[in-house]
Amino acid sequence: MALAIVRSICTACGDCEPLCPTKSIKPFKGVYKIEAETCTECEGESDSPQCLAACMEDDCIVPA
Ligand code: SF4
Ligand code: SF4
């Protein structure tokens, strides 16, 4: 279970990065990416994915 950032939609605002409890969000090719190996969809940390709650762009963070 993991989420992914759609590169063509991400504005590289960086708002999601510090909120990730597993530090799975990293700068990548001018925008950001989510490491699928470590993303837990915030299970056990929050009721909902924190990156998704922070991102202002529609359909930018989607199921991997
Ligand atoms: S869903 Fe949670 S664990 Fe996964 S990248 Fe977003 S903030 Fe990090
Ligand atoms: S909050 Fe959304 S637009 Fe901003 S860096 Fe994260 S994924 Fe990209």
Report whether 5 contacts 34 (CB < 8 A).
yes
Q: Where are the alpha helices (DSSP H) in 1-64?
A: 50-54
Name the residue of 6, 10, 15, 25 to mutate for ligand 1: max ligand atoms within 8 A of Cβ: 25
State residue 14's pLDDT score.
98
State residue 51's pLDDT score.
98
Q: Would the pTM of this model clear 0.85, i.e. be above it?
A: yes
Per-residue pLDDT 10s for the chain (64 aa) are: 899 999 999 999 999 999 999 999 999 999 999 999 999 999 999 999 999 999 999 999 999 9
Report the C-alpha gap between 42 and 55 in whole angstroms: 15
- Cα torsion for 26, 57, 16, 53, to the nearest 10°? -140
State residue 31's pLDDT score.
98
- Domains of the chain with bracketed CATH: 3-63 (3.30.70.20)
State residue 8's pLDDT score.
98
Residue 2 CA, ligand 1 centroid: distance in Å: 7
Q: Any idea which ligand is nearest the CA of 16?
A: 2
